[in-house]
Amino acid sequence: MDKFRMIFQFFQSNQESFMNGICGIMALASTQMYSAFDFNCPCLPHYNMAYGLGILLVPPFILFLLGFVLNNNISMLAEEWRRPHGQRGKDPAVLRYMFCSMAQRAMIAPAVWVSVTLLDGKCITCAFCTSVPVETLGNASHPLLSQEEIQRVLARIPCKEIYNGQEVIANEVAVRYLRCISQALGWCFVLLMTTLAFLVRSLRPCFSQAAFLKSRYWSHYIDIERKLFDETCAEHAKSFAKVCIQQFFEGMSTDLVAARCHLPQKASADTGEASKKLLGITDQGTMNMVLKSWHRCKPPLHLHPSALPSRNGWAGEGQSPVHPSAAQRETAAYYSLV
C-alpha closest to that of 115 among 183, 200, 29: 183
Query: What mean pLDDT is reported for the chain?
Result: 79
Range of the domain at 137: 1-210
Give me the half-sphere count of Cα atoms (radius 13 Å) on the Cβ side of residue 54: 9
Report the number of distinct structural domains present in the chain.
Answer: 1
Residue 298, in any domain of the structure: no
Residue at 188 is within a domain: yes
3 state SS of 211: helix
In a domain, 247, yes or no: no
The whole-angstrom separation of Cα 27 and Cα 31 is 7
CA distance 81 to 90: 8
Q: How many CB atoms lie within 10 A of CB 127?
A: 22
Is 68 within the bounds of a domain? yes
Q: ∠ at Cα 222 (221, 227), nearest 5°?
A: 95
Contact (CB, 8 A) for 38 and 78? no
* 222 is a domain residue: no
198 occurs within a structural domain: yes
Q: What is the pLDDT along the chain (338 residues), one digit of tens a residue?
A: 565 556 555 555 555 666 667 777 878 888 888 888 888 899 998 899 999 999 999 999 999 998 888 877 788 888 888 888 888 888 888 888 888 888 888 888 899 999 999 999 999 999 999 888 888 887 766 666 777 888 888 899 999 888 887 888 888 999 999 999 999 999 999 999 999 988 887 877 777 778 888 888 998 898 889 889 999 999 999 988 988 888 888 777 766 666 665 555 555 566 667 777 787 788 888 899 999 888 888 888 887 765 545 555 454 444 444 444 444 444 444 344 43
C-alpha to C-alpha distances, 256 to 27, 245, 263, 268, 309, nearest whole angstrom? 62, 15, 8, 16, 42
Q: Is residue 240 part of a domain?
A: no
In whole angstroms, what is the distance from residue 177 CA to residue 276 CA?
77
CB 274 within 8 A of CB 64: no
